[in-house]
Structure 1
């Protein structure tokens, strides 16, 4: 053993303060409510980092929860995310049953965000989804992941970059109430020794990396959200295609802002071919807003389309009594993220800020009224459906 173990764990957790220091890069660094929000945000990322650094190894892979409202920053409410460390020079088999989710996808890359100081080092992306795989009639399947296709292998195969360090899985659901999530295993096919006991040096090094994770993650996500605000301001959408990951997906983020007695009307054409699309609200720090007990998101299954074929949603602090209410959960400013996945066009929505009392004058005359009883039932169904998915 080369390291002397400090009797205080706080010594190794000191980098957590770097995450709190990122308060300076929020929209309101002197607002005590902002400071209070940044504290639990730091804890969510720290709680996930245990999985990242202690749960599994590339030689002994295993699925761990990735982005969700308990563990770290923005998740897509429609997605369940899993992660396992891998190595680009090893061969892996993922097998199980596809379930009935709308989309099942796999992404491999060098690092996950939060694991390196320099996000430009994150690369080596390779992706496949269920359209690229062959399944048995009952949904069973297996796929080999490796840098080169194994000699003689004729089944499902996916390339991983020789520098690969992690695999991410998305279970993307449209109808939360009826779709069944996949069941998956991952195993390394190369000869490896038994999973070892960690040395004291290894434990201390991993704890130190855990403590660095929240600041790294926060810097990356604040940069993304602040970039949108700097380029287009509030209540304007900006189309973005991420480099590498989810090549089929175009995002349309915005930073929203409204006040008491106001509403924001989001309006857009819809692509003719739209395998998947959604919209969600985030807080000012890029965390998904409460989406189990709040109607803070919708997707192409749940959304109600107007009689003219356009989609309209309304952000308001109180229930406006119309379809597609996006509840900002008490926040008067924050982020919006929409997604067009593999669509044949990429329309850019608009946002109109109006008085809540004049909302119906700004909507089509045949916009239905959603009664309090109907809204309560909508929320009850959402709560049940979301709780029945395994989010961690």
Structure 2
């Protein structure tokens, strides 16, 4: 079978659904918004190839998931990978734990973007290697199956009998020095060799790829829009999601300011805080550039004020203070913070001020960050992020 260019475009016709979702954005007639959503559509389409063609449940293999190239609000501290699975099979995941802060496995019935209507519930099963007592840098094996085999005494994780998908997150606090895991996944049941796909199978999968970007925005636009509709701009709305990372409370907000203004984020800090961070997103729920921009910060890198509080400043240009969150040219967008297994979960505040008056609203002993110091901070971030495997 030969496929002409016009035929291929026919297979991709459902991409228009993602462009139609422009009407769900904050400024659907803005040319910059239109271009951004077209770019977002391409990022989701590029990821969807991995989902539909890279591996299958009988022949699993890790592939990149969100991360910076596929956007849709990845945590900059996390590296995500995924593989197809089936609840009808058993799998062995083995390798080295690495030394990153968290290594967790989440399996579910359906991945976001693969269904018009997501299952409720979605068969989430989560397993955190910290809960299994697997030490940093330790080699290990975990058996994943719908039922634990009788007499099996090793590490085991449950997957739903209807599961089709598993993803992992490697969460690092110190990007430069923590070591990410090295892992393999194997199906333990007898399966035939990985087949050559038929023309019909290829066409069907391309059609699913074309639907993927619209399905993703169907899910994620309402999450960010809902925060704006319920609490407006520059107000945090803490939430705990069911399913993945049940130990974590998120604090999302939608930010907005003018070019001559700054936003001050201020919060108390829990006494016990194994992990916390804050990141900026664009208005379409994509993480902002975070390799070459200081658009996120975590508890390892954050500088705490002398009164014990954390303060960050969002401004278009470097304000010369610690904890600058660079919005990468956006004056509106989203914020996501996370408290993970903290003993308290304070809700931060946002104060909108004139940039020229910024220091009037900060503690008098707030240090000055010089351009040279900022350049060194960014250079370290670039090196650290590039040394993590993101695809």
After superposition, the Cα gap between the structure-2 partners of 1:116 and 1:224, relative to the gap in structure 1 and judged at 3 Å, is same
Q: State the partner residue of 2:131.
A: 132
In the alignment, is residue 150 of structure 1 matched against residue 149 of structure 2?
yes
Aligned counterparts of 2:327 and 2:339: Cα–Cα separation in 1: 22
CA gap 1:138/1:17 in 2 versus in 1, 3 angstroms: closer
Runs of 5+ unmatched residues, structure 1: none
- 1:121 to partner: Cα distance: 4.2
- Call closer, same or farther: CA 1:136–1:324 in 2, change over 3 Å: closer
Show CA shifts across 1:113-152 (max 9, x none).
1011113446111111122224378510010001111122
Report the counterpart of residue 92 of structure 2 in structure 1: 93
The answer for the alignment partner of 1:270 in structure 2 is 269
Partners of 1:137 and 1:183 in 2: how far apart? 12
Kept in 2: contact 1:48–1:72 (CA 8 A): no
Please report how far the alpha carbon of residue 316 of structure 1 lies from its aligned counterpart in structure 2 after TM superposition: 0.4
Give how far 1:346 is off: 1.0
Matches within 5 A, 1:77-226: 77-121=76-120, 123-135=122-134, 138-226=137-225
Residue-by-residue CA offset, 1:218-259 (whole Å, 9 max, x unaligned)? 111101000000000000000111122211111000000001
Q: Cα RMSD (Å) of the superposition? A: 1.6
Size of the alignment, in residue pairs? 391
Contact kept, 8 Å, 2:247 with 2:340, in 1: the verdict is yes
Deviation digits for residues 135-175 of structure 1 (CA, Å, limit 9, x no counterpart) = 37851001000111112210100111111111110000000
Contact 1:142 1:156 in 2 (8 A): yes
Going from structure 1 to structure 2, the CA distance change for 1:7 and 1:289 (only over 3 Å counts) comes to closer
In structure 2, distance between residues paired with 1:284 and 1:196: 42
SS of the aligned residue for 1:48 comes to: helix
Instruction: Name the SS of the counterpart of 2:201 in structure 1.
Output: helix
Name 1:255's counterpart in structure 2. 254
CA offset digits 1:277-329 (Å, max 9, x no partner):
10000000111101011000000100001111111000001111000000001
The answer to whether the Cα contact below 8 Å between 2:109 and 2:119 also exists between their aligned partners in 1 is no
Q: Determine the structure 1 residue equivalent to 2:312.
A: 313
Q: In structure 2, how many angstroms separate the alpha carbons of the residues matched to 1:63 and 1:6?
A: 31
Shift in alpha-carbon separation, 1:356–1:86, aligned structure 2, 3 A: same
Q: Normalising by structure 1, report the TM-score.
A: 0.97
Any conservation in 1 of the 2:99–2:137 contact (CA below 8 Å)? no
For residue 93 of structure 2, give the secondary structure of its aligned residue in structure 1: strand
Give 4+ residue runs of structure 1 displaced > 4 Å after superposition.
4-7
How many Å separate the matches in 2 of 1:215 and 1:180?
Answer: 35
With over 3 angstroms needed to count, the CA separation of the structure-2 counterparts of 1:138 and 1:301, relative to structure 1, is closer
1:71 offset after TM fit, Å?
1.9
Contact 2:110–2:119 (Cα < 8 Å) also in 1: no
Distance 2:89 2:272 in 1: 38
Q: Deviations over 1:5-53 (max 9, x none)?
A: 9962001100001001111000001101100111110000000000000
Distance in 2 between the 1:359 and 1:158 partners? 50
**CA distance in 2 between partners of 1:90 and 1:120 (Å):** 21
Partner of 1:377: 376
